[in-house]
Amino acid sequence: MSARDDIAAGRTSLGIELGSTRIKACLVGSDPAEVLATGTFSWENRLEDGLWTYALDDVWTGLRAAYAGLVDDVERRHGLRPETFGAIGISAMMHGYLALDADGGLLVPFRTWRNTNTGPAAAELRAALGVNIPLRWSIAHLHQAVIDAEPHLPRLDFVTTLAGYVHHALTGERVLGVGDASGMFPIDAATADYDAGMLRSYTELAGDRLPAPLTALLPAVRAAGAAAGTLTDEGAALLDPTGALRPGIPLCPPEGDAGTGMVATNAVAPRTGNVSAGTSIFAMVVLERPLAEQHDELDIVTTPAGDAVAMVHCNNGASELAAWAGLFGRFAAAAGQPLDEDAVFDVLFREALAGEVDAGGLLAYNHLAGEPIAGLAAGRPLFVRTPDSDFHLANFVRAQVYGVFGTLALGMQVLTAEGVELDRMLAHGGMFRTAGVAQRFLAGALAAPVAVGDLASEGGAWGIAVLASYLAAAEEFTLGDYLDQRVFASASVAVVDPDPADVAGFSSYLDRYRAGLAVEAAAVASL
């Protein structure tokens, strides 16, 4: 069948992901490996009253714009405008806190994963539940509200993530994919549902400070391939105010960006992993066995199918690097040689290849927000050099790229000490678009081969479109087999092995980086 036939007959799957800087829509047809159209909308978080948030008006403005852009792209490429799809999937940034009342109204501004005000709650939860509960998890945000006796709690009826909120608005269903749910509250791998023993422990901890049992406040958990509702009349109008989109389309369980990143890189099987680099950066490693000890640097989440994953999550990713690229882009324009954003990155990244393997003694900290792995409650981006550092552009850019991977490498060393082994680590995100640069440096940072696939460039929006397409195949395939046999069977993957010189150079950089965290902490305390 042609792409046009698929679109006309509704043999397509639409994925929409609300990322930290872009809302992106992606359409696939009967061959889920082929992207038929895309649409995007750029947005940014904002710091309001000391908390990172996004306005919900921007959520719907962005969703409509991304969807409209996709429809326009379908018409431009294929000569018709779609009115229905075979399935839809919604994905978004994991964690955070969206608190709704019984009418679906927002009780407090959306609190994103980036907030680090939940330290007291996370400490109480670790003691009560016996597992690591990171600051960004939804239960940490909820319990911090309990500790603070926030006035909205008596009216609280539903707690969810951003993906769960959008899915609920489109379908009326209070459900969440198991991968996204695993960043709300711990999941029991045997049941692929919230851990029953820990729910009881939390009930004792919260006492009468919540208006209902936690199970009544959280969304129901669904694994990949399970039914999760259909698009309502109201949901269709929210997504497409023109009225062209027809209701009744099935939706897959809404997932988090970590889960869609695993799908987009075919990293859902044990001994596989992926690194996703955006506003945050995180690594996901699918485990063969439980870890021997609890580690504050790691949290245990799941794949969209429910398998246990060790996650190294860093609040700060490529935003500071992008800010420097913007500065150099402005310099080029002021000099009468304007370059678009991709061209600026390409020039800078290729210059970095000429840098010294340890970045010449330079250090870059990308901490715009707090970074729990590094022990930082807040962030202050810093570029540091000593008088005898070799300060030139190639070393400067290499230091900035290394800085993106610095905190991630600290967390990954914990997994190495646990004896966790990987057959492959796949990377995706915009900074890997320049071939052979960030990928090579990451291989040096992890001392492991790093692969970049030709499909991962569309990222999580494509990943959730694939999960939507899996709805029709779940009775025939496991998710891993579906990806291997139907999605990635003919995909090309470029693998870069670690260069021993890069490994040694990054190790030297990381030693300085670890020692220099005292400087970063002093900046947080002083500025």
The top-scoring range by mean pLDDT among 332-341, 413-422, 447-456 is 332-341
Contact predicate 394/355, CB 8 Å: yes
pLDDT, residue 201, reads: 97
Contact predicate 43/58, CB 8 Å: yes
Residues 434, 338: Cα–Cα separation, whole Å: 19
Mean pLDDT (the chain) is: 94
Average pLDDT over residues 402-411: 96
Cα-based distances in Å from 498 to 150, 366, 444, 505: 50, 23, 5, 11
Rg (the chain; Cα; Å): 22
Quick one: what percent of the chain has pLDDT higher than 90?
83
Average pLDDT over residues 77-90: 97
Average pLDDT over residues 213-221: 97
Cα-based distances in Å from 207 to 147, 159, 187, 212, 215: 11, 18, 22, 10, 14
CB-based contacts of 46: which residues, under 8 Å, 6+ apart? 52, 53, 54, 55
pLDDT, residue 455, reads: 59
Q: Per-residue pLDDT for 271 more than 70?
A: yes
Q: pLDDT (tens digit, 9 = 90+) per residue, 1-29?
A: 699 999 999 999 999 999 988 999 999 99
Residue type at position 521? A
* DSSP string of 14-74, one letter each residue: EEEEE-SSEEEEEEE-SSTTSEEEEEEEE---EEETTEEE--HHHHHHHHHHHHHHHHHHH
Reported confidence tier of residue 434, pLDDT bands at 50, 70, 90:
confident
Q: Per-residue pLDDT for 457 more than 70?
A: no
Average pLDDT over residues 320-349: 97
Quick one: what percent of the chain has pLDDT higher than 70?
99
pLDDT, residue 493, reads: 84
pLDDT, residue 389, reads: 97
Q: pLDDT (tens digit, 9 = 90+) per residue, 120-160?
A: 999 999 999 999 999 999 999 999 999 999 999 999 999 99
Q: Per-residue pLDDT for 97 more than 80?
A: yes
Q: pLDDT (tens digit, 9 = 90+) per residue, 164-192?
A: 999 999 999 999 999 999 999 999 988 99
Reported confidence tier of residue 428, pLDDT bands at 50, 70, 90:
confident
Average pLDDT over residues 288-299: 88
Average pLDDT over residues 215-240: 97
Locate 391 and state its tokens: 């300060």
pLDDT, residue 308, reads: 92
Reported confidence tier of residue 278, pLDDT bands at 50, 70, 90:
confident
Least Cα distance to 442 among 453, 454, 428 occurs for 428
The top-scoring range by mean pLDDT among 43-47, 48-52, 363-367 is 363-367
Average pLDDT over residues 85-106: 96
pLDDT, residue 456, reads: 52
Locate 392 and state its tokens: 């030139």
Residues 407, 415: Cα–Cα separation, whole Å: 13
